């Protein structure tokens, strides 16, 4: 598995679990398919509304209106207290999901560490291959120069048959050396 594949998988996993980021969901004002985020947003909204009513009840001059507001606040409080166990169960499920994500990220971290160690082990091998390729290239150049000199010396004899034979030999050797180089 390549580094790019791992990074792609990590990115996909992170995107999959972005919906559990309450702050991000609140910023985007989206609760999506997450029951915890929906319930948490509803409870938080009800708490804010109850706090506003409480402030209004404290400033209310009419006692009957203040009593009615306080009764509504108590009903809201009782309803919200019923929602707390639901939030706790959903939070537990979310924590279990985060534990699974944590385990997955630990696995990815270990894989990345192993890949780094393997790359460190292979760097000297790559350097050795590079050195051998450079030497083979140098040997091929030297051989080509010597063959060219030999062909030029033999051409001076003006023997056409020998020129053809030498040319075939030179091409064969060059092809052989080229194959060694690959």
User: 21: buried, middle or exposed (CB in 10 Å: 19+, 13-18, 0-12)?
Assistant: middle
- Number of neighbours of residue 9 by Cβ within 10 angstroms: 14
Judge contact between 69 and 60, C-beta under 8 A: yes
Q: Mean per-residue pLDDT for 168-175? A: 83
Q: Which of 22-26, 123-127, 148-152 has the highest mean pLDDT?
A: 123-127
What would the pLDDT profile of 36-77 be if each residue is shown by its tens digit? 888 888 888 889 988 898 899 889 888 888 888 889 989 998
Judge contact between 35 and 94, C-beta under 8 A: no
What would the pLDDT profile of 90-136 be if each residue is shown by its tens digit? 888 888 888 888 888 899 899 989 999 998 999 899 999 999 999 99
d(CA 178, CA 158): 29
Averaged pLDDT score across all residues of the chain = 82
pLDDT for 182 equals 61
3-state secondary structure of 122: helix
Tally helices (H) and strands (E) across the chain: 5, 0
b/e sequence 82-98, b meaning 16+ C-beta within 10 Å: eeeeeeeebeeebeeee
- pTM (predicted TM-score): 0.42
């Amino acid at each position: 598995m390549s580094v790019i594949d791992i990074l792609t998988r990590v990115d996909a996993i992170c995107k999959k679990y972005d919906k559990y980021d309450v702050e991000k969901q609140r910023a985007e004002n989206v609760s999506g398919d997450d029951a915890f985020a929906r319930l948490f947003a509803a409870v938080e909204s009800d708490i804010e509304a109850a706090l506003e009513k409480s402030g209004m009840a404290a400033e209310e001059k009419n006692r009957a209106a203040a009593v009615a507001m306080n009764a509504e606040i108590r009903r809201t409080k009782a309803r919200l207290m019923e929602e707390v166990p639901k939030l706790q169960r959903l939070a537990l499920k979310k924590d279990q999901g985060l534990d699974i994500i944590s385990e997955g990220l630990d696995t990815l971290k270990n894989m990345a560490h192993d890949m780094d160690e393997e790359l460190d082990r292979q760097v000297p091998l790559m350097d050795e291959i590079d050195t051998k390729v450079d030497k083979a290239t140098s040997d091929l150049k030297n051989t080509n120069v010597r063959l060219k000199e030999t062909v030029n010396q033999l051409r001076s004899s003006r023997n056409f048959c020998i020129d053809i034979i030498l040319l075939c030999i030179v091409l064969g050797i060059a092809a052989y050396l080229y194959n060694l180089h690959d």
